[in-house]
């Protein structure tokens, strides 16, 4: 901060952070920094539209991609629907460019391509959907999306604002070994300061201004404080065993909670992400499979847990994240608090 907090011009720190990411990630070659996850996704979609010359985008019910207009859209009632706006202030005309389908549903995606032949610029997905419960997809489904995009000249965008640098340094793309066309990252690469980025191959990124015709800029983008914090954060993430430790601690928490007698919940987890679902299903892979009624159990537990010093995300639809800072005692205390309340 002593070196300056904002210049409205590039600084060397952007190159340093970009180099740190790109040299450790085989899925991307170039990065553009912005100031939030919302901006990252909004810009990635503009890039996909500019690159393909198409307007429509396809997203999934239950995935959150920030608050830009064309993404504040929820599914209608059909298999393939133009969504309904999920926020006041979003024009119908924006919504009409967004197709919304269910997660884990091949038929809906195939039908969308049949119906909107040569019109879909991109499919955007959280490859590890973690904004509406943890709706883990099969690798085979993600591969299906990869293949159908390639076949139709549509770009595949992985929104890794949550999963990037969390399930491993190379995020979900690395975890599943599937190469999307564009990846978005956020939060983590700023070490707690406002940041986001979108990244892709040299070829696709060359479409962004000033090299290409897709405009995107921002006074605060690549902010030097966020870049410094990001370099510090990602340097920690690259240390040996960083991710195996996170996963070990997560597994310990998950095992501890699962063993509680008479529990009425299941834990779903991947890497350091976990979700407590009040269900007896062994898999939940789409938003419709979540029983809204079951959230009453979460509400029963939330405040008593808070009184015992355990602070969960404030909704049963929120996932939890294990942090490097969490200790073994934190985990034991959490399991004990759950155990006492479940009695």
Give the residues lining the site for ligand PLP (CB under 6 A): 36-38, 41, 64-66, 126, 131, 159, 161-162, 186, 196
* Beta pairing partners, 159: 184
Closer Cβ to ligand PLP, 128 or 337, answer by number: 128
Cα–Cα dist 2/113, whole Å: 53
Q: Least distance (Å) from ligand PLP to the CB of residue 174? A: 17
Task: Check: CB of residue 100 under 8 Å from CB of residue 82.
Answer: yes
Structural contact between residues 34 and 218, judged by C-beta atoms closer than 8 angstroms: yes
Least distance to ligand PLP, CB of residue 71, Å = 8
By beta-carbon distance, which residue lies closest to ligand PLP?
Answer: 37
Of 140, 117, 139, 125, nearest to 59 (Cα)?
A: 125
Closest of 74, 7, 84, 72 to residue 38, by C-alpha: 72
Q: Give dist(CA 267, CA 279) in Å, integer.
A: 9
Cβ 129 to ligand PLP shortest distance, Å: 8
Taking the complex as a whole, the smallest distance from the CB of residue 130 to ligand PLP amounts, in Å, to 7
Give 38 or 279: the residue with its C-beta nearer to ligand PLP: 38
**How would you list the strands of the sheet with 266-270, edge to edge?**
266-270, 273-277, 320-321
Question: How far is CA 309 from each of CA 63, 285, 315, 333, rounded to the nearest angstrom?
Answer: 30, 31, 17, 9
Nearer to ligand PLP, 304 or 314 (CB): 314
The set of catalytic residues is: 64, 159, 187
**What is the C-alpha separation between 317 and 313, in angstroms, rounded?**
9
Task: Report in angstroms how near the CB of residue 131 gets to ligand PLP at its nearest.
Answer: 5
**Minimum CB distance to ligand PLP smaller for 158 or for 298:** 158
Q: Which is nearer to ligand PLP, 72 or 121 (CB)?
A: 72
Tell me the C-alpha distance between 120 and 19, whole Å: 32
Q: How far apart are CA 135 and CA 231, in angstroms?
A: 30
Beta bridge partners of 56: 120
Q: In this complex, which beta carbon is closest to ligand PLP, that of residue 174 or of residue 257?
A: 174
As a whole number of angstroms, the distance between CA 182 and CA 138 comes to 20
Token duo for residue 216:
């995107």
Residue indicated by tokens 């063993």: 259
Nearest to 218 by CA among 9, 45, 1: 9
User: Which of 55, 193, 78, 186 minimizes the C-alpha distance to 126?
Assistant: 186
> Which residue number, 225 or 337, has a Cβ lying nearer to ligand PLP?
225
3-state SS assignment for residue 58: strand
The minimum distance between CB 64 and ligand PLP, in angstroms, equals 5
Min separation Cβ 78 and ligand PLP, Å: 25
């Amino acid at each position: 901060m002593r070196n300056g907090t904002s210049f409205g011009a590039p600084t060397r720190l952007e190159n340093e952070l970009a180099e740190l990411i790109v040299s450790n990630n085989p899925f991307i070659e170039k990065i553009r920094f912005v100031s939030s996850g919302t901006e990252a996704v909004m810009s990635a979609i503009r890039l996909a539209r500019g690159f393909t010359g198409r307007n429509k985008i396809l997203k999934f019910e239950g995935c959150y991609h920030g608050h830009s207009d064309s993404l504040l859209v929820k599914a209608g009632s059909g298999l393939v629907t133009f969504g309904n706006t999920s926020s006041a202030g979003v024009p119908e005309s924006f919504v009409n460019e967004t197709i919304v389908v269910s997660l884990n549903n091949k038929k809906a995606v195939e039908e969308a391509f049949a119906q909107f032949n040569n019109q879909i610029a991109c499919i955007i997905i959280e490859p590890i959907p973690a904004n509406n419960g943890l709706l883990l997809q099969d690798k085979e489904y993600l591969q299906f999306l990869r293949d159908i995009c390639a076949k139709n000249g549509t770009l595949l965008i992985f929104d890794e604002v949550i999963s990037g640098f969390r399930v491993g340094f190379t995020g979900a793309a690395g975890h599943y070994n599937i190469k999307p066309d564009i990846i978005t990252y956020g939060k983590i690469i700023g070490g707690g300061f406002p940041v986001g980025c979108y990244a892709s191959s040299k070829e696709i990124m060359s479409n962004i201004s000033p090299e290409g015709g897709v405009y995107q800029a921002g006074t605060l983008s690549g902010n030097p404080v966020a870049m410094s914090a990001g370099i510090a954060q990602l340097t920690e993430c690259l240390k040996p065993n960083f991710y195996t430790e996170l996963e070990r601690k997560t597994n310990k928490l998950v095992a501890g909670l699962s063993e509680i007698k008479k529990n009425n919940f299941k834990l779903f987890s991947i890497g350091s992400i976990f979700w407590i679902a009040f269900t007896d299903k062994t898999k939940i892979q789409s938003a419709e499979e979540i029983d809204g009624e079951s959230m009453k159990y979460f509400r029963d537990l939330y405040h008593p847990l808070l009184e015992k010093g355990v602070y969960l995300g404030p909704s049963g639809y929120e996932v939890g994240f294990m942090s490097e800072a969490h200790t073994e005692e934190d985990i034991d205390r959490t399991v004990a608090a759950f155990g006492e309340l479940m009695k």
